[in-house]
Amino acid sequence: MLLSTDPIYIQEVGMRDGLQSAGSFIETPDKVDLINQLSKLGLTKIEVTSFVSPKAVPLLADAEEVLQTIERNSAVQYTALIPNLRGLERALQTELDEVNVVMSISEAHNLANLRLSCSESMAQIATIVERSAGLRVNGTLATAFACPFSGPTEPREVLNWAQRYLDVGIDSLTVADTIGAATPGQVYSLCKQILTRFPNIELTLHLHNTRGLGIANALAGIAAGVRRFDASFGGVGGCPYAPGATGNVCTEDLVHALQFDGYSCAVDLEGLIAATDTLAALLPEQLPGLVRASGTSKKRHPMSEGLRKLASEKRISL
């Protein structure tokens, strides 16, 4: 198996994509503490919050206060999701490195999620880019593989909307498997097509683990040339406007797979597990991540005295 020697960059989205649909409100000081922990672990980017209406997403109503309070690491890019021009106005009053805009390729999901047609969303995004005052803008294409309402997405549609994103001036692109419907073959094929057509683009793959293929899909993305991945510590998350969608691919599970398979991924895995322990104590539901529960592949269990005695009798060296 050929392994990549290029660094793989992990971008933490749990503080936004995870907490927006969490079972309960996490207090602002606890959010700040979590972000401060995550900032020290080698993550390339942290999506801190969303400037969505507090009435629509009350769990992220403290966006400004969180951004004013966190301890920043110069090696980390701090970003936030903005849904509209009002969100941009709020974002520009804070200290951010980047804003993330999103639209769905599927008309049905875009209507459910944003109450806009795809063309209306793109027009709004063009205005956001124009008024971003030099702030980096990342464009996310949701439902890039399938929509919960209309089914599979054609790759040519992804390429067409990616071109339109670039035409309005976005700085980087994310393609999202919003409902976790993609397979490794589909991920490899689409990412290869995007990178072939847009060889200079900074491309991120945003994966969900709805059907258990999140890590396999990440490895397929790496094989196609992707080097940046969104992930959510503890595996929390899921789009509230996509029926059946569950959590994002779990950050510690993905980092574990990459590091133990020999990839260059400079994230502190033990520190990440500790941060997830902190998160787990704040949420009522059990987190879906696996490595935190089972331990890393280095974990060893003691043998019973009975087995040790049997080994001695059989002259087996343990």
Which tens digit of pLDDT belongs to each residue from 103-143? 999 999 989 888 999 999 999 999 999 999 989 999 999 99
Residue type for 306, please?
Answer: G
Question: What value, to the nearest 5°, has the Cα angle with vertex 304 and ends 303 and 305?
Answer: 120
Please, which contacts does 1-4 make with residues 24 or more away whose CB atoms are closer than 8 Å? 3/261, 3/262, 3/263, 4/222, 4/227, 4/263, 4/264
**pLDDT band, residue 202 (cuts 50/70/90):** very high
Please, which contacts does 268-273 make with residues 24 or more away whose CB atoms are closer than 8 Å? 268/40, 268/41, 268/42, 269/296, 271/37, 271/40, 271/41, 272/38, 272/41, 272/233
pLDDT tens, 51-106? Answer: 999 888 899 999 999 999 999 999 999 999 999 999 999 999 999 999 999 999 99
Given 3.90.1150.200, 3.20.20.70, 3.90.1750.10, 2.40.50.140, which CATH number is that of 9-313? 3.20.20.70
Closest CA to 254 of 238, 231, 270: 231
Query: Which pLDDT value is given to residue 122?
Result: 95
With residue 142 as reference, give the H or E element that holds it.
strand 136-142
Query: Which pLDDT value is given to residue 1?
Result: 42
**For the ranges 55-59, 91-95, 148-152, 245-249, which has the lowest average pLDDT?**
245-249
Query: Whole-angstrom Cα distance, residue 123 to residue 118?
Result: 9
Query: Whole-angstrom Cα distance, residue 172 to residue 211?
Result: 27
Active site residues: 239
Query: Which pLDDT value is given to residue 2?
Result: 46
Distances (CA, A) of 211 to 207, 223, 248, 249, 275: 11, 21, 11, 10, 25
Q: Residue 55 has which token pair?
A: 């009435």
For 193, half-sphere exposure in the C-beta direction (CA atoms, 13 angstrom radius) is 16
- Look up the pTM and report it: 0.93
Helical H segments across 179-304, by residue range: 184-197, 214-224, 251-260, 269-280, 291-294
Q: What is the mean pLDDT of the chain?
A: 93
The mean pLDDT value for 9-23 works out to 90
The residue ranges of every structural domain in the chain are 9-313
The mean pLDDT value for 304-311 works out to 90
Query: Which pLDDT value is given to residue 242?
Result: 61
CA 146 to chain CA mean position, Å = 17
Percent of the chain at pLDDT above 90? 79
